[in-house]
Amino acid sequence: MSERIVILDFGSQYTQLIARRVREAGVFSEIHPCTLPAEEVAAMQPSGLILSGGPLSVYDGEAPQLQPELLELETETGAPVPVLGICYGLQAMAHLLGGDVEAAERREFGPADLTRVASKNGAAGNGGGDGAGALFEGVPEGSTVWMSHGDHLTTLPEHYEVIARTTNAPVAAVRDRRRPHYGVQFHPEVVHTDYGRRVLENFALRICGCAGDWTPASFVEEKVAAIREQVGPDAHVMLGLSGGVDSSVAAALISKAVGERLHCVFVDNGVLRKGEFEDVQEAFRGHFDLHLKAIDASERFLQALDGVTDPEKKRVTVGNTFIEVFEEATEEVAQRAGERPRFLAQGTLYPDVIESVSFKGPSQTIKTHHNVGGLPEELGFDLIEPFRELFKDEVREIGRLLGVPERIVGRHPFPGPGLAIRIAGPVEREKLRLLREADAIFISELRDNDLYDEVWQAFAVLLPVQTVGVMGDERTYEDVVALRAVTSVDGMTADWAELPHDFLGRVSGRIVNEVPGINRTVYDITSKPPATIEWE
Ligand code: XMP
């Protein structure tokens, strides 16, 4: 791969957004920890380097420092590798070069208006463009930038000059007059910075001189090559297919790399939605070059779930049973293939990575999400996680490219523990039946009314209460279903979806009429936080 921008992560929660914005500019980018030795960064021959923000102050004893060699990297032609420091990244550069960074009197957080400052030495152009102006080409005066910092730069290093300020920050952006090194105190990667995408695009295309011709199709090509290299000519790969977007697209991608050495295991865990077991098999069997083993283990799961009411116990039960079934399937593959598969592929996405590494992250303490469906290290596989740096919509785009059917690619997320966490109270067969029917009506109405793609996730939940109703002349005393639909970007926060009233009325009417056993529906109008998306 010829062009890539390397992003060194100093611990910011926004680092992935930087990578995403650079990819949107058509340049491949990848994230590495700021502690990666400079020689290894140099060996990647980056077209440019971006230093992310971070939560600490450069004077903090534990603060990650910038390795001096990183500011001296050269391209193949001997030109200096351009560097862009963002917030902490800028402070780390300045601190290393003898500038002063101080704690601001109060933390600056929120929007500010950007004003460019004329270069005192416009003649010293570098790295394409006019040097000083290249970073802000096409960015209007006074446009909004997003600030979030406690420290700021008070004395610039030698050869540095200010190229932009805001009302509160005299140093909003700087550059090195001698070489293509830039720093911004604001966050160009967040959507609150109006022209932030443009700033990063300018860095990638104008300053680093990248062509900007990288596409998701190139991602596929590169990943396929990388997976082939990682797996080698003979080894086998296991993959737990859930029918969700992430594992399905991972299966399609990895099958392109290793073909029939990919063994997908799709388990009916008894808590799938209506028609799902057949649907997923239909989408894959005969359409992709892979082994698909569909295992109906529903009895085993339902027995294990018998009498379990605690949501976390449900998760653990489904998770552990899945591990047992998966291990048995692995043994079978080993017998057939003549050797135990060495690799395990997972459709882990970037938000899963952040949620599981942030020790204080909300989902860590509230629910044990990502332990379910994930497999324990003791199984001894080497992992293949091709989407660790991508967001769901990027994975969807790749899935479409690979020919994964739209009904799978465009699917709402579905939790590993399935309907078990959508039945409040014990998971019983009859309750599962009611819930499946109600859920199928809700989803098919959403699809028929072009509302399915408008929401991040929608589903029905069966409540552990009976209420009184009247059907014809008869009194009924039956179950209640709650309908849940939310809009969200990544599932970490969510708003309840304002679905049209007549639509909700129709869904409710159909459910109580067509699903005997349910006589009432309610619509959940709680956002996350304070609620979560699922009810358990
Ligand atoms: P919550 O309910 O925490 O859900 O707001 C956020 C997203 O995660 C999904 N979710 C899970 N996914 N195993 C999973 O694989 C789980 O145990 C689990 N719990 C919630 C949920 O459907 C939503 O998309």
Polymer length of the chain: 536
Q: Is residue 530 part of a domain?
A: no
Q: Which atom of ligand 1 is nearest to the CA of 492?
A: 6
**Residue 134 CB-density burial (10 A; 0-12 exposed, 13-18 middle, 19+ buried):** buried
> In this structure, what are the phi and psi dihedrals at residue 521, rounded to the nearest 5 degrees?
-125, 145
pLDDT at site 183: 97
What is the chain's Cα-based Rg?
Answer: 26
Q: What ranges in 140-215 are assigned the alpha helix state H?
A: 196-201
Residue 534 CA to ligand 1 center (angstroms) comes to: 6
Instruction: Tell which one of 461, 533, 536 to mutate to probe ligand 1, the residue whose CB is within 8 A of the most ligand atoms.
Output: 533
CB 534 less than 6 A from any atom of ligand 1:
yes
Q: What 3-state class would DSSP assign to 37?
A: coil
- Angle at which helix 429-448 crosses helix 501-514, to 10 degrees, equals 140
Domain shared by 174 and 244, yes or no: no
> 3-state DSSP: the chain helix, strand, coil percent, rounded to 5?
35, 25, 40
Q: Mean of the pLDDT values across residues 318-335?
A: 95
Residue 232 lies in domain: 216-409
Is there a contact between 243 and 279 (Cβ–Cβ < 8 Å)?
Answer: yes
Domain shared by 354 and 470, yes or no: no
Domain shared by 301 and 389, yes or no: yes
Residue 250 scores a pLDDT above 90 = yes
Those residues with Cβ within 8 angstroms of residue 154's Cβ, 6 or more apart along the chain or in another chain: 100, 101, 102, 171
Q: Whose CA is nearest to atom 10 of ligand 1?
A: 415
User: Which tokens hold the place of 513?
Assistant: 């009429």
CATH number at residue 509: 3.30.300.10
Domain shared by 282 and 261, yes or no: yes
Last residue of a domain, one of 144, 175, 207: 207
The beta strand positions in 185-308, using DSSP E, are: 237-241, 262-268, 291-296
Instruction: Tell which one of 245, 367, 419, 496 to mutate to probe ligand 1, the residue whose CB is within 8 A of the most ligand atoms.
Output: 367
Residue 130 CA to ligand 1 center (angstroms) comes to: 49
Helix (H) or strand (E) holding 315: helix 311-337
User: Which tokens hold the place of 66?
Assistant: 């910038």
Domain shared by 182 and 236, yes or no: no
pLDDT at site 126: 40
Which of 80-89, 210-219, 293-302, 514-523 is predicted least confidently?
Answer: 210-219
Is there a contact between 163 and 177 (Cβ–Cβ < 8 Å)?
Answer: no
Question: Which residues have a catalytic role annotated?
Answer: 87, 187, 189
Is there a contact between 99 and 85 (Cβ–Cβ < 8 Å)?
Answer: no
37 versus 109: the higher-pLDDT residue is 37
CATH number at residue 80: 3.40.50.880
- Angle at which helix 392-401 crosses helix 216-231, to 10 degrees, equals 90
User: Which tokens hold the place of 400?
Assistant: 């479409």
- Nearest in space to 374 (alpha carbons), one of 326, 334, 421: 326
Q: Mean of the pLDDT values across residues 94-104?
A: 93
Last residue of a domain, one of 162, 188, 207: 207
Residue 415 CA to ligand 1 center (angstroms) comes to: 5
Q: Which atom of ligand 1 is nearest to the CA of 363?
A: 3
Domain shared by 168 and 79, yes or no: yes
Domain shared by 202 and 221, yes or no: no
Q: Is residue 118 part of a domain?
A: yes
Domain shared by 28 and 163, yes or no: yes
Burial 62-101 (b: 16+ CB within 10 A, else e): ebbebbeebbebeeeeeebbbbbbbbbbbbbbbbbbebeb
Domain shared by 313 and 176, yes or no: no
pLDDT at site 131: 60
pLDDT tens-place string over residues 352-396: 766 554 332 222 334 455 443 467 777 889 999 999 888 888 899
CA gap 517, 439 in Å, rounded: 14
Q: What is the mean pLDDT of the chain?
A: 90
Domain shared by 384 and 242, yes or no: yes
DSSP 534: S
Q: In total, how many domains does the chain have?
A: 3
pLDDT tens-place string over residues 42-59: 999 999 999 999 888 888
pLDDT band with cut points at 50, 70 and 90 for residue 62: confident
489 versus 470: the higher-pLDDT residue is 470
CB atoms within 10 A of CB 224: 18
Last residue of a domain, one of 179, 207, 235: 207
Q: What 3-state class would DSSP assign to 92?
A: helix
Domain shared by 160 and 273, yes or no: no
Domain shared by 249 and 202, yes or no: no
Q: Whose CA is nearest to atom 9 of ligand 1?
A: 415
Q: Is residue 420 part of a domain?
A: no
Whose structure tokens read 């358990």? 536
Q: Mean of the pLDDT values across residues 512-528?
A: 97
